[in-house]
Amino acid sequence: MANFKGHALPGSFFLIVGLWWSVKYPLKYFHQKGKKSRLNHHHQRLEIIEAAIRTLFSVIGILAEQFVPDGPHLHLYHENHWMKLMNWQHSTMYLFFAVSGIVDMLTYLVTHIPLGIDRLVMAVSIFTEGFLFYYHVHNRPPLDQHIHSLLLFALFGGSASVSLEVIFRDNIVLELFRTSLAILQGTWFWQIGFVLFPPFGTPEWDQKDEANIMFITMCFCWHYLVAICIVATNYALVYCLLSRLKTHGGGEIIGIQKLKSDDTYQTALLSGSDEE
Amino acid sequence: MANFKGHALPGSFFLIVGLWWSVKYPLKYFHQKGKKSRLNHHHQRLEIIEAAIRTLFSVIGILAEQFVPDGPHLHLYHENHWMKLMNWQHSTMYLFFAVSGIVDMLTYLVTHIPLGIDRLVMAVSIFTEGFLFYYHVHNRPPLDQHIHSLLLFALFGGSASVSLEVIFRDNIVLELFRTSLAILQGTWFWQIGFVLFPPFGTPEWDQKDEANIMFITMCFCWHYLVAICIVATNYALVYCLLSRLKTHGGGEIIGIQKLKSDDTYQTALLSGSDEE
Amino acid sequence: MANFKGHALPGSFFLIVGLWWSVKYPLKYFHQKGKKSRLNHHHQRLEIIEAAIRTLFSVIGILAEQFVPDGPHLHLYHENHWMKLMNWQHSTMYLFFAVSGIVDMLTYLVTHIPLGIDRLVMAVSIFTEGFLFYYHVHNRPPLDQHIHSLLLFALFGGSASVSLEVIFRDNIVLELFRTSLAILQGTWFWQIGFVLFPPFGTPEWDQKDEANIMFITMCFCWHYLVAICIVATNYALVYCLLSRLKTHGGGEIIGIQKLKSDDTYQTALLSGSDEE
Amino acid sequence: MANFKGHALPGSFFLIVGLWWSVKYPLKYFHQKGKKSRLNHHHQRLEIIEAAIRTLFSVIGILAEQFVPDGPHLHLYHENHWMKLMNWQHSTMYLFFAVSGIVDMLTYLVTHIPLGIDRLVMAVSIFTEGFLFYYHVHNRPPLDQHIHSLLLFALFGGSASVSLEVIFRDNIVLELFRTSLAILQGTWFWQIGFVLFPPFGTPEWDQKDEANIMFITMCFCWHYLVAICIVATNYALVYCLLSRLKTHGGGEIIGIQKLKSDDTYQTALLSGSDEE
């Protein structure tokens, strides 16, 4: 869907996921600190719901790409011509995210699936998106090519970061990094929509102007800065909320009182040495 | 052997290896969980047989490349001309896999060979295949070049993943990832054969058509999706089989009853802390 | 600021930071060895002051880039033209370093921020600088392009190294490596200034001469050698100073007496196993 | 020194180092296994001697490059011309290896130098060699360029591997990998000499023939295979020698009797958990 909506929709999808993660991971982090339990049932149910919603979103994405009026309607090859390969490629991207969502659900539902598989499949999904984008943007005007290729930094960076989570699972720094890249991807899709398909009758961008490309490069950095600020703000809000709840209610909600003596967390995570 | 058979044969080789691994690693994983023993004699013998078969396959590959009617018959240089360098390059690839198989055998047979060497040599073999392919595909039509270069993703990805196993040995996630890439490679070789040398009299593909290249890129992702599904199915089948065996027979076959309290497996692996 | 000052100022900034680090990290290392305490209050205050100064420097950099006579004065777009994008890009680089400084301060001031976030944001800042430089140097004369692109080795190397510190925090080797790259960057900025904008009326360099490019490549290696020597010298000086202080004063200042039995430090760090 | 000797000399240097390492590391490995002591004085003295010899070799290399009859004799710039930059670049490479040798010596001589610094500087030296080679080979005939660029695989691979040793020190697999790459580099330098400057009056190679390039690519793989075989042979010889010595002499020389129960070595190394 090479129009404004076709970029606004995935943009919103990634933005929602990123914003949700920027609340979920701080919540999980403070909870774990307090209770020293790895994964309680409440949290597990939340993860399953999240994965289900992500799967649902992806399926909607596939259906949208296939059954928009000018879509391929599940026809791939017709009269010696490939049908709407662009839509098929987008469907493939959504399909991988659907698979990633399903694997996430299964990992929490079925106990004999090894942890880490969910992260691996997620990394593969993100990589596939980048992989398809990489071969996607040849033979386009310079600005179009450049603005899409910047996305690859977020995608391959995210894929590498999620791969690391296979080994360093539940590392809050990696989780927040992933969150920030998801938000970046979301806002950048919106930016692409605004630049390539100006929605409110604003004038077209000159696709060959070197200054435009230079601005877009810098603009990408600003987007990431905004993503960092959003993650930081939500992290702080979650902390404030939890500490207020604790003051008013019981002392079991979060484990902030233990934070001070706990700065060896990362090393301990790495070694898995349980403090018995 | 630039024909259909020359791609179907290595394709079948990698496919068989991948399918076997997709049964072996889940089996090993469930066994280890149950018995907490690293490597019993039964498993060790299996590994040696597998490595021997891989070596045998590779030797057959070398012989086939050398002694097909239009092969070099071990002549490398003749009358100021290199003889059939294509076949020699393929022989070299098989040679590395043969060496990898031999080192695998030795690692299990001879106790004073450090663990990890087998993985390192396997990583080197896969890298060498990618390395030779990389310089292999210059000066060909675009589609030919593209369809071969996609293989490099599977090869270099696999090489990196196997290298990680030097450090993180027996990590089920890395093993399943390697398995999926082996299957991908196998099915992709078949795909290359079907595209470049249509076997059943189907029409030739236009090697310069941009749409064909675009489809092939997407098709590669679908192959990987199929590979993931195969690995997942076999994993589930192995689990079902083992749990049925356990119900009917004794309780010592697998350790599934311990799985629930064992989700810190990975961290423990990383730290090597034995629970004594 | 495409002139000598525009390179001398950031060069001095990175040089000062690098020199300071080459004193700070050895100091911290010897202290930690002695006391076995992770982070005392004295050290913490020092880190906060350092981060504050880095933030201040970065803010000065932003203001300088914006309000020099030929700067954009915070105007980004004016009469269908982007205003002074070069200065805006430099401002963006400084902005990221300012954010990194703020996050560093917060990590030490606020106990509920996970350790590692500061390193991640620093890695992102350095990466962003490299990212902007990468797209910065197109369409320039060969020597200009080459001399700037060499900087990318220091930047991407530094970014990768700092990312590793997220996992392997307080690893003296990584810290000294980062230090040496900071010094390299500092001296190389000065070198760029001298080559592209000869300050003392020395003749212009021929920007297309292959020999000049060849010399500059080698010169970059020499700069790094000098950086290594500076780090080594400061390391030795800190050691001598501390051991002299110890001889004259009490025995509690450093822990050199424990160094001999402590060469398993790195492994222990990796496992986080405390010797109790 | 663009002639046969100029490639044979560094080739011999790397070959000797590689062969020596292929004896040293197995020796060290079996010793450590037996005695469970990290580093005894005997071994330490050996390391210092090795580093001293490497430093000496490098200094000889520098002097040879500078003071051969057509060398620059320490003149860098003369009458508006850079003097013999090729020789200066080679001198720079040797200089880095000299620094690496000195740092190695210091690490074993001075106890307050953190372990890992020696590996870092070695990785930097190897990277620098690759870095200079990378910019070295532009504007040459295709075969010349290709044969030199293959060296980069050995160099950047070696640099990455040695960097890993900063974290995973004393890992026998990484050490043997480094050893094999050193031997590869040594034999490849000889190969370059034979191809570009045929010494015994053999005919010149056609520098533009595609088949020659194809053969050289494959030949590089064969060289690595030979390097693997050499390392494996020396490993086996060291083992045989040590076990024979043990049978005839006392039982304290090697710890092979402990090898069987010790296949969790790598994991243990990773966690640093001492068996108390």
The residue of chain B with its CA nearest to that of D268 is: B272
Average pLDDT over residues C243-267: 52
Least reliable range by pLDDT among C192-196, C252-256, D170-174: C252-256
Least reliable range by pLDDT among A78-92, A248-262, B104-118, D114-128: A248-262
pLDDT, residue D112, reads 86
CB contact under 8 A, D176 and B117: yes
Average pLDDT over residues B188-192: 95
CB contact under 8 A, B132 and D173: no
With beta carbons less than 8 A apart as the criterion, state whether D270 and A273 touch: no
End-to-end CA distance of chain A: 56
SS3 A199: coil
Instruction: Using CB atoms, list chains with 3+ pairs below 8 Å to chain A.
Output: B, C
With beta carbons less than 8 A apart as the criterion, state whether A58 and A94 touch: yes
Stronger pLDDT, D20 or C247, i.e. the higher one: D20
Question: In degrees rounded to 5, what are phi and psi of residue D81?
Answer: -135, 140
pLDDT, residue B3, reads 84
pLDDT, residue D35, reads 60
CB contact under 8 A, A221 and C81: no
Amino acid at C265: Y
Of B172, B259, B264, the CB nearest to A272: B264
Angle at A43 between CA A38 and CA A44, to 5 degrees: 85
What confidence tens digit (pLDDT) does each residue in C109-149 have? Answer: 988 899 899 999 999 999 999 999 998 877 788 899 999 99
Question: In degrees rounded to 5, what are phi and psi of residue A82?
Answer: -70, 135
Instruction: Using CB atoms, list chains with 3+ pairs below 8 Å to chain B.
Output: A, D
pLDDT, residue D121, reads 97
Q: Is the pLDDT of residue A168 over 60?
A: yes
Stronger pLDDT, A141 or A15, i.e. the higher one: A15
Q: Is the pLDDT of residue C182 over 90?
A: yes
Residues of D in contact with C270 (CB under 8 A): 167, 270-272
Cα(D167)–Cα(B135) distance, rounded to whole angstroms? 33
Q: Is the pLDDT of residue C2 over 90?
A: no
Least reliable range by pLDDT among A39-43, B118-122, B126-130, C158-162: A39-43
Q: What is the count of residue pairs from A and C with beta carbons less than 8 Å apart?
A: 88
Contacts with B, A 16-45, CB within 8 Å: 38-39
Cα(A183)–Cα(A230) distance, rounded to whole angstroms? 9
CB contact under 8 A, C264 and D38: yes
Closest residue by Cα to residue B245 from B19, B22, B46, B30: B30
SS3 C78: strand
Name the stretches of chain D with pLDDT < 70.
Answer: 1, 34-39, 249-276
Of A29, A211, A264, the CB nearest to C38: A264
- Give, in order, the Cα–Cα distances in Å from A36 to each of A32, A244, A252: 5, 21, 12
Rounded to the nearest angstrom, the minimum Cα separation between D122 and chain C is 12
Q: Which residues pair with B81 in a beta bridge?
A: B78
**Could you tell me the pLDDT band of residue C35, with boundaries at 50, 70 and 90?**
low
Q: Is the pLDDT of residue A253 over 60?
A: no
pLDDT, residue B63, reads 93
The residue of chain A with its CA nearest to that of C83 is: A211
pLDDT, residue C221, reads 97
**Could you tell me the pLDDT band of residue B42, with boundaries at 50, 70 and 90?**
confident
Of A173, A214, A221, the CB nearest to C128: A221
CB contact under 8 A, B176 and A117: yes
Stronger pLDDT, A50 or C273, i.e. the higher one: A50
Closest residue by Cα to residue A164 from B160, C156, B117, D173: B160
Instruction: Using CB atoms, list chains with 3+ pairs below 8 Å to chain D.
Output: B, C
What confidence tens digit (pLDDT) does each residue in B95-137 have? Answer: 999 999 999 999 999 888 998 999 999 999 999 999 999 988 7
Of D88, D111, D124, the CB nearest to C260: D111
Establish how many alpha carbons lie within 13 A of residue B114's alpha carbon, considering only the half-sphere containing its beta carbon. 28
pLDDT, residue B269, reads 39
Contacts with D, B 163-202, CB within 8 Å: 166-167, 169
Closest residue by Cα to residue D231 from D190, D174, D269: D174
Cα(A249)–Cα(A246) distance, rounded to whole angstroms? 5
The residue of chain B with its CA nearest to that of D229 is: B99
Average pLDDT over residues C201-229: 91
Stronger pLDDT, B159 or C247, i.e. the higher one: B159
pLDDT, residue D264, reads 39
With beta carbons less than 8 A apart as the criterion, state whether B119 and B166 touch: yes
What confidence tens digit (pLDDT) does each residue in A181-197 have? Answer: 999 999 999 999 999 99
Amino acid at A128: T
Q: Is C89 on the interface with A (CB under 8 A)?
A: yes
Burial of A261 (0-12, 13-18, 19+ CB in 10 A): exposed
pLDDT, residue B168, reads 92
- The fraction of chain A above a pLDDT of 70, given in percent, is 87
Burial of D191 (0-12, 13-18, 19+ CB in 10 A): buried
CB contact under 8 A, A273 and B271: yes
Cα(B230)–Cα(B183) distance, rounded to whole angstroms? 9
CB contact under 8 A, C114 and A256: no
The residue of chain D with its CA nearest to that of C274 is: D273
Cα(A199)–Cα(A205) distance, rounded to whole angstroms? 12
CB contact under 8 A, A88 and B218: yes
pLDDT, residue B165, reads 95
Q: Is D214 on the interface with B (CB under 8 A)?
A: yes
In the DSSP assignment, the letter for residue B204 is P
- Give, in order, the Cα–Cα distances in Å from B31 to each of A115, B22, B260: 17, 15, 15
Cα(C220)–Cα(C187) distance, rounded to whole angstroms? 10
Cα(B21)–Cα(B185) distance, rounded to whole angstroms? 14
CB contact under 8 A, A38 and B225: no
Stronger pLDDT, A11 or A203, i.e. the higher one: A11
Closest residue by Cα to residue C179 from C229, C219, C109: C229
Cα(A101)–Cα(A122) distance, rounded to whole angstroms? 8
Q: Is the pLDDT of residue B51 over 70?
A: yes
**Could you tell me the pLDDT band of residue A73, with boundaries at 50, 70 and 90?**
confident
Angle at D160 between CA D155 and CA D166, to 5 degrees: 130
Residues of C in contact with D270 (CB under 8 A): 270-271
Quote the ipTM score: 0.86
Closest residue by Cα to residue A38 from B267, C63, C45, B89: B267
Average pLDDT over residues A57-69: 91
Q: Is D273 on the interface with B (CB under 8 A)?
A: yes
CB contact under 8 A, C169 and A266: yes
| Interhelix angle B85-109/D210-248, nearest 10 degrees | 20
**Could you tell me the pLDDT band of residue A276, with boundaries at 50, 70 and 90?**
very low
